[in-house]
Amino acid sequence: MNSESGDPRLLVDLLEQIEASNPEALARQSSREIDLLIGRDPSPIVIPDGPMSRRYRRAKKSRGTFDWYQPLLAAVPLLDVEGTIEAAKSIEVGLFARERLSKLDPAQTPRQDLIDLYSLAERGELEYEKLLLSNVRLVFHWAKPMANSVGADWVQDAFQVGFMGLMRGIQGWDFRQGFTLSTYVSWHIRQTIQRWRANETDLIRLPVHVTDKLKSASHELSAQIQEAVTRSRQLVPLDLLDLKEAGSRWDGGLEEVLESVFRRRALDQLLNALPEQERRVLRLRTGYQAGGEPRTLEEIGQIFGVTRERIRQIEKKALERSRKLLQHSM
């Protein structure tokens, strides 16, 4: 469905009055206009009681939230699938009638034909407005969390940008493709709001695709950090710790003892994951669990019956394997 119509008259009037000093009165008046549009008996206009200053403070506070939009949502009727498709058909007929009128010569066209074409065109515009009204809930659904994330000052901008996405979605929707209107326009609303936030609210303007990649990387990093924090919170019962594992050096600080124990256990797990030959070479080279004295390449070569160059190669391979194991465990 394609439409060359601009902003619908009804909602343009509502958006232009968003900055009014009393949004609650605007909501009631908007509900009345919606009733007139859909042919329902309008609710009577009630003049609120109370001092003006109190109503002004309440209105000023509500301008930074979506609270005062709730009466509008309650007044807007929903369309079912059949009603949505019928409205789309009427819009297409109206567009066709408008195109025919642009090509006709009123002086050469029968009066009744002109009346019929104008009637079809106007009905198509009304059905277009009904589709906008019945799906305005989707604008609030996507605009509210986005506006809340950037600040109350952006509430009205987020709604207006989301409404533009709704209009674009309705104009591009083709009911013959089998997609529901709500699914189709939701994508347009969300994309429009996301691009608006990336281009207008961020201090440093980045391309939208870069912003999406940063958001994805941030979620992935947060998950990894949370996993690391969870692992670090796994406590070891103190009665299972042998203070002798910390070595003979202990100045009385329990934190130092625990840290030394955890390091030794982590090192043992790492060494146990290596092949036997590589594990023995690293222990001899570092002196860890090998008498405490590091051995030279030549000394280790004599133990294994190979050259010092071969021991150097084994050591290098063991270190590379250990590095990969550490990266995989993080």
In the numeric block, the tokens 């699914």 are attached to 183
Model pLDDT, residue 307: 92
Q: How many CB atoms lie within 10 A of CB 312?
A: 15
Q: What angle do CA 239, 244, 250 make, to 5 degrees?
A: 105
Whole-angstrom CA distances from 2 to 7, 186, 188 are 14, 17, 15
Q: Give the residue ranges of the chain where pLDDT is below 50.
A: 3-10, 12, 14-15, 17-23, 25-26, 38, 45-64, 203-204, 232-250, 252
Q: What is the mean pLDDT of the chain?
A: 70
Q: How far is residue 197's CA from residue 107's CA, in Å, rounded to a whole number?
A: 51
* 140 contact partners, CB below 8 Å, separation of at least 6: 66, 69, 73, 159, 162
Give the H or E element holding residue 244.
Answer: none
Locate all alpha helices (DSSP H) within the chain, ordered by sequence: 9-16, 23-38, 52-62, 70-75, 81-103, 111-134, 136-150, 155-172, 181-196, 208-232, 254-272, 276-286, 297-304, 308-329
Model pLDDT, residue 120: 92
Look at domain 242-329 and name its CATH class: mainly alpha
Q: What is the DSSP letter of 109?
A: S
Nearest to 123 by CA among 142, 144, 95: 95
Reported as a single tens digit per residue, the pLDDT across 101-118 is: 888 888 888 888 888 999
* 48 contact partners, CB below 8 Å, separation of at least 6: 24, 25, 55
The CATH architecture one would assign to domain 9-201 is Up-down Bundle (1.20)
- Burial (CB count <10 Å: 0-12, 13-18, 19+), residue 159: buried
What is this structure's pTM?
Answer: 0.45
Q: What angle do CA 313, 314, 316 make, to 5 degrees?
A: 65
Q: Determine the straight-line distance between the first and last CA of the chain, rounded to whole angstroms.
A: 52
Q: How far is residue 86's CA from residue 295's CA, in Å, rounded to a whole number?
A: 87
Model pLDDT, residue 7: 44
Q: How far is residue 146's CA from residue 164's CA, in Å, rounded to a whole number?
A: 15
Model pLDDT, residue 212: 60
Six-digit token string for 139: 């604008």
Q: How far is residue 32's CA from residue 223's CA, in Å, rounded to a whole number?
A: 49
Model pLDDT, residue 86: 92
Model pLDDT, residue 151: 64
Model pLDDT, residue 255: 53
Model pLDDT, residue 47: 41
